[in-house]
Amino acid sequence: MGQTLVEKIIARAAGKDSVRPGEIVTCTVDLAMIVDSGGPRKIWPRLKELGVGVWDPEKIVVVSDHFVPAVDADTAAILKLSREFVREFKIPHFYDMKGICHIVLPENGHLQPGMFICGGDSHSTMGGAYGCYMAGFGGIEMTGVCITGEIWTRVPETIRVDWSGKFNQAVVAKDVMLFLCRQLGMDNAFTAIEYGGNTVTSMSMSERSVLCNMAAELGCETGVIAPDETTLAAIRAAGKQPATNALTWHSDPDASYISKHAFNATELQPQIAAPHAPSNSGPVGDYTKIKIDQAYIGACVGAKLSDLCMAAEVLKGRKIASNVRLLVAPSSQKVYADAAADGTLSILIDAGATMLASGCGACAALGAGVLSAGEVCISSTNRNFKGRMGANEASVYLGSPYTVAAAAAAGHIADPREFLS
């Protein structure tokens, strides 16, 4: 019997010809990514206690993105420690206040198909858009990875999801994921999810990354998409050459899946997730007229250049409602610069948007834009559980950048199709 893409990557990392779901193997790690929030400040004390260093500085990437820029003395100390950690262990790949880790990694060419990567953040699954196995791990696991360059894992079952057809106006990958959170639920532990079908293969890398990022919301270990020419073009655009075997990483036709699902993209409408779970979702028409205080376009999943362009398409020639604040935090400095160069930022600012620094910020209630008790926000981010963006008593709705921008203009949740020609 053939193997899935995930099984093939794990088998290579484990030095085996093949693996099967449920098998426990030890894998050699190709790359480890750690961030300021749960990285050096948790890993370094354990290294000191054990009297050891890191296994390979070239294979560790450090990103400061959660606490940037520092808002108080405590967060400044965390960032200072991260910078000292990088100097101590001579780690060359350090992206300090350059953007969110999941965006910075591919921007700088660190991802190649077939890699086995450990990330110190739950949305590390985003790397699977490049045909990698990339999963999120906690501080203890990442300590072991940084010391040994290895980690054990249980080979997951794979869920296969295929989408066919062309999206209708204002429907994008974020709507796919809010729909899937409802359809598949959020308790898919010990599984991976593989996306395919002509809808997916026609997507840009930016949109594919949304599917893999929000595999975390499905509860999956990771999400993957087989690499193709679009993948290779993105690697070249980052200044790297694709691996010679890049296009060999795909599932076999006779691979075994725990389940298979097929959906028609032409039937999908813009989606909204209501408080307090991404699975609490439905068509946007079910939520119109809900008044909002804040609209937020930010995070790894919702503030890429394509996301900002979606918002600008809605807001061009319009102003945000008088009772609403629209906050925009581009996902990286490169995105910021590109959006400034092509005029996207001007459209957003002219509409009344307030620009924030690139970083995780309000998405995880770590910077400007947090919510007060009783406030209502619609956000392009990936999570909306209680307290995620501030007070437990705040309400967060999730939508695509199209939908968030439409709400900002209307002053309430609205169908973005009404704002597009």
Q: What is residue 361's predicted lDDT score, i.e. its pLDDT?
A: 87
The candidate with the shortest Cα–Cα distance to 204, out of 339, 313, 358, 307, is: 307
Domain stop point among 263, 294, 310: 263
Residues 253 and 292 in one domain: no
* Token pair belonging to 177: 């994921």
Half-sphere exposure of 106 (CA within 13 A, CB side): 29
Q: What is the pLDDT of residues 364-398, one digit of tens each?
A: 888 889 999 999 999 999 999 998 999 999 999 99
> Any bridge partners for residue 60, and if so which?
32
Residues 319 and 204 in one domain: no
Contact 407, 378 (CB under 8 A): yes
Residues 328 and 376 in one domain: yes
- Strands of the sheet containing 281-283, edge to edge, are 281-283, 271-273, 395-398, 376-379, 294-297, 325-328, 354-355
* Token pair belonging to 252: 């076999």
Residues 282 and 197 in one domain: no
Residues 300 and 185 in one domain: no
Where the chain has pLDDT below 50, the residues are: none
Q: Domain containing 237 — which CATH number?
A: 3.30.499.10
3-state secondary structure of 240: coil
Residues 158 and 212 in one domain: yes
If one counts the domains in the chain, the total is 2
* Rounded Cα–Cα distance for residues 135 and 204 (Å): 22
Domain stop point among 212, 236, 263: 263
* Token pair belonging to 413: 């949740």
Residues 215 and 344 in one domain: no
Residues 77 and 146 in one domain: yes
Q: What is residue 394's predicted lDDT score, i.e. its pLDDT?
A: 96
* Rounded Cα–Cα distance for residues 115 and 118 (Å): 10
Residues 402 and 373 in one domain: yes
Residues 283 and 175 in one domain: no
Characterize 298-325 residue by residue with b for buried, 16 or more Cβ atoms within 10 angstroms of its Cβ, and e for exposed. Answer: bbbbbbbbbbbbbbbbbbbebebbeebb
* Token pair belonging to 352: 């009344």
- Helix, strand counts (H, E) of the chain: 13, 18
Residues 213 and 286 in one domain: no
Residues 171 and 31 in one domain: yes
* Token pair belonging to 202: 């026609």
Domain span including residue 162: 5-263
* Token pair belonging to 421: 């020609």
Contact 374, 387 (CB under 8 A): no
3-state secondary structure of 307: helix
Q: What is residue 356's predicted lDDT score, i.e. its pLDDT?
A: 96
Q: What is residue 269's predicted lDDT score, i.e. its pLDDT?
A: 97
